[in-house]
Amino acid sequence: MRRLGDQRPLLLFVTATALLLAGGVAWLSAAPGWAAGLWVADTVLGLAFSVVTTAAALRRRQATVDVIAVLALGGALVVGEAFAGAMITVMLASGQLLEDRAAQRARRELSLLVERSPRTARRRDGDAIVEVPVDDVRAGDHLLVGTGQVVPVDGRLLSPAVLDESALTGEPLPVSRVVGEDVRSGVINSEHPIDLVATATAADSTYAGVVRLVEQAQASSAPFVRTADRFALWFVPLTLALAGGAWAWSGDAVRAVAVLVVATPCPLLLAAPIAIMSGLSRAASIGVVVKGGAALEQLAGGGVMLFDKTGTLTRGQPVLTGVVAAPGGPSPDETLRLAASLDQVSPHVLASAIVSGATRRGLPLAMPGAVAEVHGYGLAGVVDGRRVRLGKAAWIVGSPAPSWARQVRRRADLDASMVVFVAVDDEPAGALLLEDTIRPDAPRMVRALRRAGISRFVLVTGDRADVAEMVGRIVGVDSVLADCDPADKLRAIEQESATASTIMVGDGINDAPALAAAGVGVALAAKGSTASSEAADVVLTVDRVDALADVMLIARRSRGIALQAVLVGMGLSLVAMVAAALGLLPPAVGALLQEVIDVLAIALALRAVLPGRTHSVDLSAEDVATAQELRIEHDATQSVVQGIATVADAITTTAPDLGPTWRLLDELETKVLPHERADEARLLPLMSRALGGDDGTVALSRTHAEIEHQVARLRRLLEGTGDTPLPEDVVELRQLLYGLHAVLRLHNAQEEEGIFGLVPGGAQAG
């Protein structure tokens, strides 16, 4: 009866209202016979509708308060209270119309996504640009996206871009993206035309996955259990007992009908669905697909949340974390520049991280030539006339591996990193370290969810225990379960479900069983639909896990408003029922009073449409621009920070060469310290305004001072050692460098979480 696009609710409302008003005109025109006939017709219409809805509930073996409406309408016909029956019909019809409109509002944001799906793409074929059907695009194709056009497939940028990502993220401000960054289909190019290389077909791209999710949510047959029906077990017997008692005590059947009229549960039938549907609409507006009102209510009641690690608490894709130059080879920046230039045309997942890492350091990339993939080994090509190869250690450095390569591998094992080795002109040049880093918004999300009412967090992952424990400590979970296969995750959910309602959050195929088994399954589908999003009840189409905290607040607020509207409406109805039983309210007056109660309950429920409290931070356009400017400077200093450990590793007590250390000191004083001073002067006041206080900036300010102090110590130590440092000087120098490296890494992580993660596009930055 409530399918979207169905005009029956509107037709029912128009017909019921027209019959009621026509009867009123006839009554005022001294034609009581016509008035009674029109009102009787209206009552019969409402009775037929109520019988159909009650029968549908009985077929589902579901308790329902609709039976009260059937009895009230039937009783009104029996005792000749046609006007009261007509009023009840209008109430029921208005309820159906409001619920239908609320449902349409909830789906409208999602339907817009489907309507704007790209149909064609502009592909570069040599010097020509050819418009082709989007389904003909293949990974590796070079595409041109014009100003104002929708990006047709997932790809990697070959030129800088300013993108409107609001369709996927809900974020209204345009986001700047640099060369090498991944861009998702469905976003809009806001400025000059851009070039990109496709990394997926249209069917496998983000936007197609979102469309499939929308279609699945719209076709979902999961029953929406109305809040009203939970009251049926006690409210229906109470109403029948009160009506029967009034009839038996007074001997007047009209009193019984009056009780039934004012008991017609419109506050339940209208208010609860409106509040819940409004919550679905609010969730959709921030990029979260909730598959029905039942899922929203279950989300609101969750007490324990379980997380997968990869792609959920971590980015789910590698980020460049270090560059190690081979002895006698090119500098780290030159090694990275050549590798990233070659990787620009590769659709491999590691290529995005390498290209993005280079562009964030401001390295100028060149287009490669003679590119060839060597299956099982890596990629080869020519950059600026130099032969460049990327790939496995055996192909690049040979066997046995030299000591520097073994040291790189050992460091990668300790940090759970991946390594790509680089050769230039057939000589080993260095290695690139890549890591699946923790999402900067993950710790803030966990804190926000605790404030929203989640009492326990559990990390369940198939990763090894030391890595899982580290992630768990940083994010702030209560328990960590490592080395888990899908069966282990199911057992964890079963165990946690014994104490509270569970919410499982994941994004991989192996998470699908756990998502289906949990009280509520939440999937991350920002990079496309997977088996996990098919199995989940709630799907995040934005690549920010802190949206989960916002949708939890939306769910709890919607449920609270629904309950409040129900309790106020039913409380007033109970008072009116007692008055009717005592003969103080005739059916006609009771019907009018019930209409007033309905309007009040609906007004309370409609508050759910309005924006409520969220944990998100609103930044002004000026503050966003400042943060993005400082973020570029922040990224440009990362090569210096990563080089500190490399310099420290290379210092030996026998014939130490302090030249690299002096060069490092110069970079620290000319690049890192000016940036940290700019952060102190501009970023910390911005953060204080955004977070509403100075508490979050005190630690960062103290770290700025410590960085200044350690760099000053490094200069004094180098100046004091002279040209022939003693062994103890070298030991002291190494200790200082390793300490400075640790302080800077921690400080950068604090900035990522504290402010850069709040900026549009900040959580995705590498």
Q: What is the pLDDT of residues 671-716, one digit of tens each?
A: 999 988 988 888 888 877 776 665 567 878 888 899 999 999 999 9
- Which residues pair with residue 422 across a beta bridge? 390, 430
- Judge contact between 208 and 186, C-beta under 8 A: no
- Does 763 score more than 60 pLDDT? no
- Whether 647 maps to a domain, the answer reads yes
pLDDT score at 5: 43
Mean pLDDT of 529-551: 75
The three-state secondary structure class of 168 is: helix
**pLDDT confidence tier of residue 171, bands split at 50, 70 and 90:** low
3-state helix, strand, coil in the chain (%, to 5): 60, 15, 25
**Residues above pLDDT 70, as percent of the chain:** 85
**pLDDT confidence tier of residue 65, bands split at 50, 70 and 90:** low
pLDDT score at 359: 85
- Token pair 């967090």 is found at 457
**pLDDT confidence tier of residue 222, bands split at 50, 70 and 90:** very low
- Judge contact between 730 and 652, C-beta under 8 A: yes
- Judge contact between 156 and 196, C-beta under 8 A: yes
pLDDT in tens, 93-102: 776 776 676 5
CATH of the domain at 140: 2.70.150.10
- Judge contact between 286 and 551, C-beta under 8 A: yes
Are residue 625 and residue 597 in the same domain, yes or no?
no
Domain boundaries, position 630: 621-764
Are residue 109 and residue 12 in the same domain, yes or no?
yes
Torsion of CA 215, 221, 227, 230, to 10 degrees: -160
pLDDT score at 167: 62
Which amino acid is located at 456 in the chain? Answer: R
- Does 304 score more than 90 pLDDT? yes
Q: How far apart are CA 601 and CA 225, in angstroms?
A: 19
Are residue 30 and residue 72 in the same domain, yes or no?
yes
- Token pair 């990522």 is found at 752
Which amino acid is located at 766 in the chain? Answer: G
pLDDT in tens, 235-281: 778 888 888 888 888 888 888 888 887 876 655 666 777 788 788 88
- Does 54 score more than 50 pLDDT? yes
- Whether 752 maps to a domain, the answer reads yes
Q: And the tokens for 629?
A: 């400017």
**Which whole-number Å values give the CA distances from 519 to 294, 301, 435, in the listed order?**
11, 9, 33
Q: And the tokens for 336?
A: 């990275």
- Whether 693 maps to a domain, the answer reads yes
Give the burial class of 143: count Cβ atoms within 10 A of its Cβ; 0-12 exposed, 13-18 middle, 19 or more buried. buried
Contacts of 168 (CB under 8 A, 6+ apart): 184, 186, 187, 206, 207, 210, 287, 526, 541, 542
Other residues' Cβ atoms within 10 Å of the Cβ of residue 604: 21
Q: How far apart are CA 65 and CA 57, in angstroms?
A: 10
**pLDDT confidence tier of residue 113, bands split at 50, 70 and 90:** low
State the pTM of this model. Answer: 0.69
- Closest Cα partner for 435 from 747, 735, 700, 745? 745
- Does 348 score more than 50 pLDDT? yes
pLDDT score at 591: 77
- Judge contact between 356 and 320, C-beta under 8 A: yes
Are residue 678 and residue 739 in the same domain, yes or no?
yes
How crowded is the C-beta side of 721, counted as CA atoms within 13 Å? 24
What is the 3-class SS of 18-33, one letter each residue?
Answer: HHHHHHHHHHHCCCHH
- Closest Cα partner for 304 from 6, 608, 519, 510? 519
Are residue 338 and residue 420 in the same domain, yes or no?
yes
pLDDT score at 334: 92
Query: Looking at 388, 404, 435, which one is the last position of a domain?
Result: 435
For the ranges 78-92, 420-434, 718-732, 745-759, the one whose mean pLDDT is highest? 420-434
- Whether 486 maps to a domain, the answer reads no
pLDDT in tens, 190-217: 878 899 989 888 887 777 766 666 555 5
Q: And the tokens for 709?
A: 């102090």
Taking all residues of the chain, what is their mean pLDDT, rounded to a whole number?
Answer: 81
- Does 110 score more than 60 pLDDT? no
- Does 606 score more than 70 pLDDT? yes
- Closest Cα partner for 266 from 604, 603, 599, 607? 599
- Does 170 score more than 60 pLDDT? no
Is the preceding omega at residue 152 within 30 degrees of 0, hence cis?
Answer: no
Are residue 46 and residue 180 in the same domain, yes or no?
no
- Does 4 score more than 60 pLDDT? no
- Whether 412 maps to a domain, the answer reads yes
pLDDT score at 424: 93
Are residue 106 and residue 243 in the same domain, yes or no?
yes
- Closest Cα partner for 580 from 236, 247, 265? 247
- 308 assigned to active site: yes
pLDDT score at 693: 62
- Judge contact between 419 and 323, C-beta under 8 A: no
Exposure b/e, 255-293, CB count within 10 A at least 16 = b: bbbbbbbbbbbbbbbbbbbbbbbbbbbbbbebbbbbbbb
Q: What is the DSSP letter of 585?
A: S
pLDDT score at 533: 64
pLDDT in tens, 368-380: 988 888 877 889 9
Mean pLDDT of 720-746: 86
**pLDDT confidence tier of residue 356, bands split at 50, 70 and 90:** confident
Structural domain total, the chain: 4
Are residue 126 and residue 91 in the same domain, yes or no?
no
Query: Looking at 169, 201, 233, which one is the last position of a domain?
Result: 201
pLDDT in tens, 307-344: 988 878 888 778 888 888 888 888 888 999 999 999 98
Q: How far apart are CA 251 and CA 270, in angstroms?
A: 33
How crowded is the C-beta side of 626, counted as CA atoms within 13 Å? 17
- Whether 424 maps to a domain, the answer reads yes
Between 577 and 273, name the one with better pLDDT.
577
pLDDT in tens, 450-500: 888 899 999 998 888 888 898 899 889 999 998 887 788 888 988 998 888
Give the burial class of 403: count Cβ atoms within 10 A of its Cβ; 0-12 exposed, 13-18 middle, 19 or more buried. exposed
Other residues' Cβ atoms within 10 Å of the Cβ of residue 484: 21
Are residue 66 and residue 176 in the same domain, yes or no?
no
pLDDT in tens, 613-630: 666 666 677 877 888 788
Measured on CA atoms in the order 445, 446, 452, 457, is the torsion positive or negative?
positive
- Does 115 score more than 70 pLDDT? no
Are residue 575 and residue 675 in the same domain, yes or no?
no
Bridge pairing between strands 304-307 and 161-164: unpaired
Are residue 583 and residue 708 in the same domain, yes or no?
no
CATH of the domain at 386: 3.40.1110.10
- Whether 496 maps to a domain, the answer reads no
Between 572 and 110, name the one with better pLDDT.
572
Are residue 704 and residue 747 in the same domain, yes or no?
yes
Catalytic member of 308, 343, 463, 537: 308
Between 742 and 66, name the one with better pLDDT.
742
Query: Looking at 166, 201, 236, which one is the last position of a domain?
Result: 201
pLDDT score at 244: 84
- Whether 93 maps to a domain, the answer reads yes
- Does 423 score more than 60 pLDDT? yes
